[in-house]
């Protein structure tokens, strides 16, 4: 009987599940952001890569 009462009162499992759900939600948000903005970020870095050499040449570096 004491074991059952301890099981009912314990909330360690619920806390672990809540943390797991938070981590899963953050993971889904990161994956969604990467899929949404991935091409734009790659294009931006490609633009910088392509134009940085000319800018440094013009600056005399």
Average pLDDT per consecutive 10 residues, the chain (61 residues; last block may be shorter): 73 82 97 93 91 76 66
Angstrom distances, CA of residue 27 to CA of 22, 36, 38, 40: 9, 14, 16, 20
How far, rounded to the nearest angstrom, does the alpha carbon of residue 61 sit from its chain's CA centroid? 37
Q: In this structure, is residue 46 part of a structural domain?
A: yes
Helix, strand or coil for residue 61? Answer: coil
Domain-embedded: residue 17: no
Give the closest residue to 24 by CA, choosing from 16, 36, 13: 16
Range of the domain at 32: 28-53
Domain total for the chain? 1
Structural domain includes residue 4 = no
Q: For position 23, what pLDDT does the model report?
A: 97
pLDDT at site 59: 76
Give the per-residue pLDDT at 61: 66
d(C-alpha 32, C-alpha 39), whole Å:
13
Cα 25 to the center of its chain, rounded Å: 10
């Amino acid at each position: 009987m004491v074991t059952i009462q301890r099981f009912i009162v314990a909330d360690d499992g619920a806390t672990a599940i809540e943390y797991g759900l938070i981590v899963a939600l953050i993971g889904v948000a990161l994956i969604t952001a990467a899929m949404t903005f991935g091409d734009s970020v790659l294009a931006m870095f490609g633009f910088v890569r392509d134009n940085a050499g000319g800018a440094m040449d013009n600056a005399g570096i």
